[in-house]
Structure 1
Amino acid sequence: MKRYIVLVITFYSIIASGQVKNNYEVVDKQISKIDAGSGKSTQDIANYIKDNFKTDDDKIRAVFYWTASNISYDVENMFAVNFNESKEDKINKALKNKKGVCINYAEVFNDIANKAGIESVVIEGYTKQNGFTDYISHAWCGAKIDGKWFVFDPTWGSGSIAAGKFVKKINNYYFKTNPSKIITSHMSFDYLWQFLDYPITNEEFYKGNFAVNKSKVKFDYDSEIEKYNSLSEIEKLVSSADRIEKNGVKNAMIFDRLAYKRNEVEFLKVNKIVSLYNEGIGEFNTFVTFRNNQFKPNVSDDELKKMITSPKDKLLKSKELLDNLGTVSKSNQANITSLSTGINQAISQSEEHFLFVEKYLGKSKLARKTMFTKVSWFGIPLN
């Protein structure tokens, strides 16, 4: 199956904000001593952090400071978004060039944090500064420190753009920010990552209505995050898409992200069906070869029956999943039709061989041999 990608035009910007006093001078000084060669690998950076810092608070500061200090905002390529880049590609490019846009900052921060033993996530959304809601997307991070979630924006925390050039200056406002404060400027597409008991809607974000509204149903984001982490990849996409839609599709960025997640769900579901179908076909072909060899070398009756039952069951399961797929995008309808035809044909053939095996197993050892040759009596078939 050919994978399709929804091109979400995602650009990133950084804007200066108020500074916050730095209480981590010792940590900053220590992480600055890391060997230059270690900066080429998030694992090496994480190992250095684990070896030199004991508390999660110091560790996450080291992650933030290293990321914000060692990566510069790539102003020249801020609009050159490669939608085929994997997470690893984004990280490796940033470590190699020491440049990147916000998704690079976020992925590097997140990877180092997780490898240092801290629960962290990349958050996608959009932003507001000075009353203006931006029309380009942004990415930042959330990390759980001593049982509480905080927000980290290593991109905005690394400096600012002045006269078209990046000016490096650590901004501690975006380090370990309380979710109730960062919500005035950072709006996640999925409200799960607001880390608020009473998440705000996109409409409220646009209007600047950030007051806690306890008339809403309280949202236990901690338990919801635990539940989310236990889901399969497809289930995560579905639950996230549902929350995005529920919170109001207020702008093109939200629409694009929602469409991407819905399409990704379809892709993964179809990919799962194709994988199951291919497994069934592979096992079925193995059985056909074995039958052509007159079931030689000998196997037990149970093994023989399993050789045809397994591929048949996989083909039937792939048909069930396909039948329950629901409405598919127009770009994928031809593929689905072709896949359905292939599955139905394979099921029909596997059923014929299954019936042959059942008949074979119901006969004596001597009679079984005759099933591989046509025996007749004066032109009348006897088997």
Structure 2
Amino acid sequence: MTIKKITVIFLFLNLIFLHLSYSQKYSEVDKIVLKYPKQFDSTEDLAKKIQKNFTSEHDKARAIYSWIAFNIKYDYASFLNPQRTQGFSYSTEAEKQRKIQQINDKLIQKTFNSQKAVCEGFTALYQNLAELTGLKCEIIRGDSKTRLADIGRKETSSNHAWNIVLIDKKWRLVDVTWGQGYYDGSKGKMVNDFDPVYFDTDPDYFFAKHFPDSGSYLGNKLSKDDFLNGPLIYNKTIQHDYKIKSPDYGIIEAKSGNKITVEIKNVSKSDVVFYLNKKNQAVKIQNAKEKRGGLEFQITYDKTIGEYLTIFVDSYSIVSFKIISK
């Protein structure tokens, strides 16, 4: 076979892969919303457009998520230099609520018109559009887990916000801030990259990365210890349902020669599984065996492994653990 034919086949296969990836990433709702104008005169106009195109509660909630994620950018400069919270005085509870509503309305309009915000703006706009389309929606504030340094942190902090929306009589978890993209530390900037995994997220995954200030969800108490000391998971973990069966704790105490057993559901021998050593060199897993719908393997702890151990599947980070040397 000639080089030219091989190149053509390679490009053809890549086109197929890109098409499949596109199809998996965007739902039919997303594809319709992608054709919407990037700006509307008002949130009411956008809500009317969504109500015209979609009738089910699920589709309306998804359309709101998609439009915000496609068009509102994370304001990283404001995150680094937050504005001082302005206080206000009031004489009655009614006056207090009215002034809070005025501040919230101002935030919604600022987010909608400037098309940039931090999480407070994303969640306020999502709630506003949800209510305009007849959906019940609330804003939840709490802690987030996004960095290696978050594994084993001592305390939670209120640093993030997300939504819950009632769809077909069931509350669903939504984090449109994270759905619009992520911060690339190597480039020092935000990357706009629509991700559907934070719409109607499985609570097990969601609360591995979020912890509400109330410490509970729908009346059920959540484990602060599990949140603080659990492993760090990533978007691809959620997307592919890579459940981390073992270790179930984010902090691993080990001495040289100890074997760390890792088991991940929905991974197979056909996947390329590896970790990075201290020199950022890929170390491929060699001793894996398929077990209970997943893959189990062992990593021998030695001086080449650093403070954190991150497992990759097909070039994507899946889970990280903190290693404490005995």
The bucket for the TM-score relative to the shorter chain is: 0.5 to 0.7
Q: Indicate how the Cα distance of structure 1 residues 130 and 161 shifts in structure 2: closer, same or farther if over 3 A, else same.
A: closer
Q: Indicate how the Cα distance of structure 1 residues 82 and 33 shifts in structure 2: closer, same or farther if over 3 A, else same.
A: farther
* Aligned pairs for 1:124-273 within 5 A: 124-129=141-146, 132-133=149-150, 137-162=159-184, 163-192=187-216, 194-195=217-218, 198-208=220-230
Q: Indicate how the Cα distance of structure 1 residues 127 and 149 shifts in structure 2: closer, same or farther if over 3 A, else same.
A: same
Other-structure match for 1:32 = 34
Other-structure match for 1:98 = 115
What is the identity, as a one-letter code, of the residue corresponding to 2:212?
S
* Aligned pairs for 1:1-383 within 5 A: 22=24, 24-38=26-40, 40-78=41-79, 79-84=81-86, 86-129=103-146, 132-133=149-150, 137-162=159-184, 163-192=187-216, 194-195=217-218, 198-208=220-230
- For each residue in 1:90-131, what CA deviation from the matched residue of structure 2 results, as whole angstroms up to 9, or x when unmatched? 111111111111111111111101111111111100111355
Q: Is the 8 A contact 2:173 2:199 kept in 1?
A: yes
Q: Indicate how the Cα distance of structure 1 residues 49 and 82 shifts in structure 2: closer, same or farther if over 3 A, else same.
A: farther
Distance in 2 between residues matched to 1:191 and 1:178, nearest whole Å: 18
Distance in 2 between residues matched to 1:50 and 1:23, nearest whole Å: 23
Q: Is the 8 A contact 1:94 1:100 kept in 2?
A: yes
Say which structure is richer in strand: 2
What is the identity, as a one-letter code, of the residue corresponding to 2:202?
N
- For each residue in 1:273-316, what CA deviation from the matched residue of structure 2 results, as whole angstroms up to 9, or x when unmatched? xxxxxxxxxxxxxxxxxxxxxxxxxxxxxxxxxxxxxxxxxxxx
Unaligned runs of 5+ in 2: 1-20, 87-101, 151-155, 232-243, 245-326
Distance in 1 between residues matched to 2:84 and 2:45, nearest whole Å: 26
Distance in 1 between residues matched to 2:176 and 2:22, nearest whole Å: 14
Distance in 2 between residues matched to 1:93 and 1:130, nearest whole Å: 29
Q: Secondary structure at the match of 2:159?
A: strand
Distance in 2 between residues matched to 1:22 and 1:154, nearest whole Å: 18
Q: Indicate how the Cα distance of structure 1 residues 28 and 142 shifts in structure 2: closer, same or farther if over 3 A, else same.
A: same
1:136, CA displacement in angstroms?
6.2
Unaligned runs of 5+ in 1: 1-18, 212-383
Q: Indicate how the Cα distance of structure 1 residues 114 and 30 shifts in structure 2: closer, same or farther if over 3 A, else same.
A: same
Q: Indicate how the Cα distance of structure 1 residues 25 and 205 shifts in structure 2: closer, same or farther if over 3 A, else same.
A: closer
Q: Is the 8 A contact 1:20 1:171 kept in 2?
A: no
4+ aligned runs moved over 6 Å, structure 1: none
Query: How high is the TM-score relative to the length of structure 2?
Result: 0.53
- For each residue in 1:123-180, what CA deviation from the matched residue of structure 2 results, as whole angstroms up to 9, or x when unmatched? 1001113554375600111111111111111111101112222210111111111223
1:20, CA displacement in angstroms?
11
Q: Is the 8 A contact 1:154 1:175 kept in 2?
A: yes
Distance in 1 between residues matched to 2:169 and 2:60, nearest whole Å: 15
- For each residue in 1:325-360, what CA deviation from the matched residue of structure 2 results, as whole angstroms up to 9, or x when unmatched? xxxxxxxxxxxxxxxxxxxxxxxxxxxxxxxxxxxx
Distance in 2 between residues matched to 1:61 and 1:152, nearest whole Å: 9
Distance in 2 between residues matched to 1:123 and 1:100, nearest whole Å: 17
Distance in 2 between residues matched to 1:156 and 1:20, nearest whole Å: 19
1:208, CA displacement in angstroms?
2.6
Root mean square deviation, CA, Å: 2.8
Distance in 2 between residues matched to 1:190 and 1:161, nearest whole Å: 27
Distance in 2 between residues matched to 1:159 and 1:114, nearest whole Å: 24
Other-structure match for 2:261 = none
1:22, CA displacement in angstroms?
4.0
What is the identity, as a one-letter code, of the residue corresponding to 1:91?
I
1:23, CA displacement in angstroms?
6.7
Query: How high is the TM-score relative to the length of structure 1?
Result: 0.45
Q: Is the 8 A contact 1:72 1:100 kept in 2?
A: yes
Q: Indicate how the Cα distance of structure 1 residues 46 and 22 shifts in structure 2: closer, same or farther if over 3 A, else same.
A: farther
Structure label with greater radius of gyration:
1
Q: Is the 8 A contact 1:46 1:112 kept in 2?
A: yes
Q: Is the 8 A contact 2:162 2:176 kept in 1?
A: yes
Other-structure match for 1:373 = none
Q: Indicate how the Cα distance of structure 1 residues 83 and 25 shifts in structure 2: closer, same or farther if over 3 A, else same.
A: same
